[in-house]
Amino acid sequence: MNLVEFYGHGGKSPGGTVILMIGRSGFFVTTEGIRMQTKKQWAWLVLVVAAGFEVGWVVGLKYATTSSEWVATILAIVISFILLIWTGRRLAVGTAYAVFVGLGTVGTALVDHFIFSEPMNRATVLFIVILLIGVVGLKVTTQAKVEEKEV
C-alpha cells in the first residue's frame, strides 16, 4: 500500500464518505466531518496557544515589576481566557480546562526551571511527565462537540 491511498469511487463512496489511508491509519470522513475535524484541530491548537499565554501571565504575576510588565501580564490574562472560552465552545469544557491548566502548570514549571533557575528534582520531573500523559490522554479520548454554538 502506498503512503496515501484513496478508496471508493474516485475517492468517494456512494454515501459520500471519503476513506483515506495514511500508513496504517484509516480516516473515514464525511464532507461535514472534514469541516468538524478541521475545527477540532484548530481548537486544540488554540488551546495550546492559550496555555502559552497562561504561562506568560503566571510568570508575570511573580516577576513583573514595571508598569509595562504588568500591562503585558494583564493582556496575557485577557488573551488566555478569551482563547479558553473560544475552545470551550468547540471542545468539552471540562477537558479544555483540564488541558489548559495542565499545560500551563507544566509550562510554568519548565520556565521557572530553565529561565529562572528554580531547582527541579526527579520527583517533580516524574509528576510533570504524569501530568503530560494525562493531558495527552484527554486530547486523544475527547470528541469535538457535534453541534457547535456560533458566537
Q: Which three cell numbers stand for residue 89?
A: 465552545
What confidence category does residue 9 fall into, taking pLDDT thresholds of 50, 70 and 90? Answer: very low
pLDDT at position 33 is 53
Give the other-Cβ count within 10 Å of 91's Cβ.
Answer: 24
Establish if 51 belongs to a structural domain.
yes
Establish if 11 belongs to a structural domain.
no
Measured CA to CA in angstroms, residue 145 lies from 17, 49, 54, 91, 95 at distances of: 20, 20, 24, 6, 12
Establish if 70 belongs to a structural domain.
yes
What pTM, to 2 d.p., does this model score?
Answer: 0.68
Establish if 31 belongs to a structural domain.
no
User: Tens of pLDDT along 93-143?
Assistant: 999 999 999 999 999 999 999 999 999 999 999 999 999 999 988 888 876
pLDDT at position 141 is 85
Using DSSP, state whether 18 is helix, strand or coil: strand
Establish if 147 belongs to a structural domain.
no
Establish if 85 belongs to a structural domain.
yes
Establish if 6 belongs to a structural domain.
no
Per the prediction, the chain carries an average pLDDT of: 79
The whole domain housing 66 covers 36-141
Give the other-Cβ count within 10 Å of 144's Cβ.
Answer: 17
Establish if 40 belongs to a structural domain.
yes
Taking each continuous run of H as one helix and of E as one strand, the counts in the chain are 4, 3
Query: How many separate domains does the chain show?
Result: 1
User: Tens of pLDDT along 26-79?
Assistant: 444 444 555 555 777 889 999 999 999 999 999 999 999 999 999 999 999 999
